[in-house]
Amino acid sequence: MQITLNGDRREIAGPLATMTVAELLAQLEIDGRRVAVELNLVVLKRDAFGSTFVREGDSVEIVNFVGGGEENFKLRTEN
């Protein structure tokens, strides 16, 4: 399925409409304890990663802490 991941369209291998956020993170080799996830502009609680499904066309933002910092960075507000 195709999702928008951190602003880029991306093909995700996996069962259609039955992939959880936790499974997505595992596929991307991202440690879920160190990140925050926003799904279609809604920030998820970490304990909901295992019960929240990612669907075709969803917009997913995965963020973590970095040194900061006043870089010129923007979360994209458009979908």
Partner 1 sequence: MDTFKIADKTFTSRLIVGTGKYSSPSVMVKAHEASGAEIITVAVRRVNISDRTKESLLDFIDTAKYFLLPNTAGCYTADEAVRTARLGREAGLSNWVKLEVIGDEKTLFPDNEALLDATRALVREGFVVLPYTSDDPIVCRKLEDAGAAAIMPLGAPIGSGLGIQNVNNLRIIREFARVPLIVDAGVGTASDASLAMELGADGVLMNTAIACAQDPVAMAEAMKLAVRAGRLAHLAGRIPRKMYANASSPVEGLVGR
**How far is residue 35's CA from residue 25's CA, in Å, rounded to a whole number?**
10
User: Between 14 and 53, how does the x/- string for binding to partner 1 read (CB under 8 A)?
Assistant: --------------xxxx--xxxxx--x-xxxx-------
The token pair that represents 27 in the structure block? 């596929």
Question: Alpha-carbon distance 52 to 42, whole Å?
Answer: 12
Binding to partner 1 in span 56-75, by CB under 8 A = 61-75
Closest to partner 1 by CB, 16 or 70: 70
- Amino acid at position 49, single letter: F
Nearest distance in Å: CB 60, partner 1: 10
Least distance between partner 1 and beta carbon 5 (Å): 6
Phi/psi at 48 (5° precision):
-100, 0
